[in-house]
Structure 1
Amino acid sequence: MSTQAHRLSITQLASCDDCAVLRITGELDRGGEELFMGTLGACVDAGHRHLVLDATALSFCDSRGLNCLLAMRWLLQRRGGKLLLAGAGRRLTELLARTGSAELIPSHRTVGLALGELPQSHRPVWPPATPACEA
């Protein structure tokens, strides 16, 4: 599954009952917030309590994007889940640190390390056996 709008695209890389791994590509700002919240909200509605965001291809994130991340973290936390980042670039890492959000949204070097924060029974197979689905 892949969705795209503005300069943001979101691709589901792997999933299981409790967790989905999504690649976020492009710019997470005002132009992409509706797509981001709608796509991730649909994952939560489908029963995923944990979301791992592969941010290696995220080229830009401003305060609106940060608010999206914090809102999704809040929603997942209320459902007993987590929002985890993987492969965040220097700018996103600095934004999280400057705003005090680094403690709220854990960031890991790789998706595999991020998934390691979850119990084995809540993790999808990683790396996935088949390539990501494109819509």
Structure 2
Amino acid sequence: MSTQIHRLTITELASCDDCVVLRVTGELDQTGEALFLGTLGACVDAGHRHLVLDTTALSFCDSRGLNCLLAMRWLLERRDGRLLLAGAGRRLTDLLAQTGSAHLLPSHRTVGHALAELPQAQRPVWPPLQD
């Protein structure tokens, strides 16, 4: 699954019953807000309690994007799940630090490190198997 609108692309990299790993590429701002919330909301509706976002290719995130991340964190926590970030670049890391959100949305160096935060039975195979 890959969805793109304007300057934002969200691609599923791996999944299992409890967790999905998504690559978020481009710009997370007002133009991508509906796509971001709709795509991640559909993952939660499908039963995934944990979302891991690979943000290595996220080139821009403003306050609207941060609000999207915090909204998904809130939703997942109410379902006994977690939102985990992986590979945050300097800009996203700075935004999280400047807004006091770094403790709410901790970033892990890699997707593998983020997945290690979850119980083994709730993690998809990583790295994904090639077809």
TM-score by length of 1: 0.96
Name the counterpart of 2:47: 47
1:61 aligns with 2:39: no
Q: Tell me, yes or no, if structure 1 residue 6 matches structure 2 residue 1.
A: no
Unaligned ranges ≥5, structure 1: none
Contact 1:83 1:106 survives alignment (8 Å): no
Q: Residue type matched to 1:63 in 2?
A: S
TM superposition outliers: structure 1 runs of 4+ over 3 Å? none
The C-alpha deviation readout for 1:6-48, integer Å capped at 9, x for no partner, is: 1000000000000000000000000000000000000000000
Normalised by the length of structure 2, the TM-score is 0.99
Instruction: Tell me how far apart the structure 1 counterparts of residues 106 and 14 of structure 2 sit (CA, whole Å).
Output: 19
Q: Distance in 1 between matches of 2:39 and 2:115?
A: 20
Return 5+ residue gaps in structure 2 as ranges: none
Size of the alignment, in residue pairs?
Answer: 131
Contact 1:9 1:25 in 2 (8 A): yes
Q: Pairwise CA RMSD of aligned residues?
A: 0.7
Match of 1:115 in 2: 115
Alpha-carbon contact 1:49-1:76 (below 8 Å) kept? yes
Secondary structure (helix, strand or coil) at the match of 1:31 reads: helix
Which amino acid in structure 1 is aligned with residue 89 of structure 2?
Answer: G
Q: For residues 60-113 of structure 1, what are the alpha-carbon distances to aligned partners after superposition, in whole Å with 9 as ceiling and x for unaligned?
A: 000000000000000000000000000000010010011111100121010000
